[in-house]
A = this chain, B = another copy of it.
Amino acid sequence: MYSVRARFQCATLCWELLTDITFADIQAAAARIRGVAKRTPVLTSRSFDKEAGVSAFFKCENFQTGGAFKIRGAANFLYQIPKADLPRGVVAFSSGNHAQAVAIAAASVGAQATIAMPHDSPRSKMEATKGYGARIVIYDRFTEDRVAVGKKLAEETGATLVPPYDHPWILAGQGTAAMELLEEIPDLDALVVVIGGGGLMSGSSIAAKALRPGIRVFGVEPADANDTYLSLAAGKRIEIPPPATIADGLRSQIPGEITFPIVQKNVERIILVTEEEIRAALKYLLTRMKMLTEPSGAASAAAVLAKKLPPEVKRVGVILSGGNVDYEVLAGL
C-alpha cells in the first residue's frame, strides 16, 4: 500500500514518485469514493458489434458524476487530504473534466476549489465548473505552462494542488472504472482505453491485469496527439507541440512520470485514430446507441469501429471516458 508510505506534502507539487500501485489501492479507492462516484452502466449494441465485428462492452463514464471518469481520481485524492489543509482550499489545472471533478469533490468536503483552465476550453465545461461552485482562472494554453500556473496559484493561497493524472491517488481512483467493468464482464479478451496523461490507462490497466492476467490492453491516441505512441517507440517520455485535435481531453504533450512506466509495462500498443474516425464514432454512438460522448470519450470506440484491433480479439471492453462535448462541436456534426 503506497498510502502508508506516501508522505503528503500540502500545497506543493512534491510527492514521492511511488509507482508500486497495486490492485488493493484501487479497491481501497472504490470504497472511498462510493458516495460521490457512480457505478456506471455497461452497455452493448447489436448494431455496433455487427459493424465492428466484435462483442463490445462499453463502460459508460459519460454518465458519471460530472460527465466523465475524472471524479473517481479527484475524489480519491480529495478524500485523503489532511482535514487541517482543507480550509485553504484546493487548486487544479485542467482542460475541463478534471476541473469539474475537483469542483464537485471539493464541494462534497466543503473546500473552495480554484481551477486554472486553458482559454480554449469547451464553454460547456467552463460553465459546468462554475456551476459546481469553483473559481476559474484562465490561462493561455499556447504561451503559459499549466503546471507553473497551478503551482503559483497553490503557493499564493496555501491551497492543495490536485494533479490531473500523475499521482498514485489519482491513478488508483481512475482504475476503479476498469475494475467495475471486469467485475461485470470478466471474460474480456481486450481492454481499450484512451491515453491523455495516462491516468485512466495506468489505473485501468493495473485493475484489468489483476482481475484477468491474460487480458490484452490497447491504448488509443489521436494521430495528432501521439506523445505516448512516440514515447513507447523511443523507450522514454517524448514531448510534442500542443496538439490541435478535436479531442480536447487528450491534448497532453508528454506522458506522466508515474503513468508512463505503467503504460510501458501493461499496454500492448497504441492505436492512433484520425479526427474523421473520432467524429464518425461520436456520431455512431449518438445516433445508434443514443448516448452522447465527447470526442475524447468516443476515441476508444473509434479504434474499435475502424477495426484497428487484432482480428483475434472478440470480446472487448471499451471505456467511454466522458460526455462533456461542447455544443458547437455537437452542432458541427
- Chain A residues at the B interface, C-beta cutoff of 8 Å: 38, 41, 43-44, 46, 62-63, 65, 67, 124, 286-287, 289-293, 323, 327, 331
- Contact of A63 (CB < 8 Å), options: B67, B286, B290, B331: B290
Q: Which residue of B lies closest to A320 (CB)?
A: B290
Contact B43 A65 (CB under 8 A): no
Q: In the docked arrangement, what's the CA distance between A287 and B67, Å?
A: 10
Contact B46 A65 (CB under 8 A): yes
Contact B41 A290 (CB under 8 A): no
Contacts of A291 in B (CB 8 A): 63, 290-292
Q: Chain B's nearest CB lies how many Å from the CB of A44?
A: 8
Contacts of A63 in B (CB 8 A): 43, 289-291
Q: Chain B's nearest CB lies how many Å from the CB of A323?
A: 3
A sample of 22 inter-chain contacts (CB < 8 A) reads: A38-B44, A41-B41, A41-B43, A43-B63, A46-B65, A62-B290, A63-B289, A63-B290, A63-B291, A67-B290, A124-B287, A286-B292, A287-B292, A287-B327, A290-B291, A290-B292, A290-B293, A290-B323, A291-B291, A291-B292, A292-B292, A331-B331
Contacts of A43 in B (CB 8 A): 41, 63
Contacts of A290 in B (CB 8 A): 62-63, 67, 291-293, 323
Q: In the docked arrangement, what's the CA distance between A289 and B287, Å?
A: 16
Q: In the docked arrangement, what's the CA distance between A327 and B292, Å?
A: 14
Q: In the docked arrangement, what's the CA distance between A286 and B292, Å?
A: 7
Q: Which residue of B lies closest to A131 (CB)?
A: B47
- 8 more contacts with CB within 8 A, not counting A46-B65, A67-B290, A124-B287, are A41-B41, A41-B43, A63-B289, A286-B292, A290-B291, A290-B292, A291-B291, A291-B292
Q: In the docked arrangement, what's the CA distance between A290 and B128, Å?
A: 14
Q: In the docked arrangement, what's the CA distance between A65 and B45, Å?
A: 8
Q: Chain B's nearest CB lies how many Å from the CB of A195?
A: 22
Contacts of A327 in B (CB 8 A): 287
Contacts of A41 in B (CB 8 A): 41, 43
Q: Chain B's nearest CB lies how many Å from the CB of A136?
A: 18
Q: In the docked arrangement, what's the CA distance between A43 and B124, Å?
A: 21
Q: In the docked arrangement, what's the CA distance between A122 and B155, Å?
A: 57
Q: Which residue of B lies closest to A124 (CB)?
A: B287
Q: Which residue of B lies closest to A292 (CB)?
A: B290
Q: Which residue of B lies closest to A68 (CB)?
A: B290
Q: In the docked arrangement, what's the CA distance between A279 and B289, Å?
A: 20
Q: In the docked arrangement, what's the CA distance between A88 and B329, Å?
A: 48
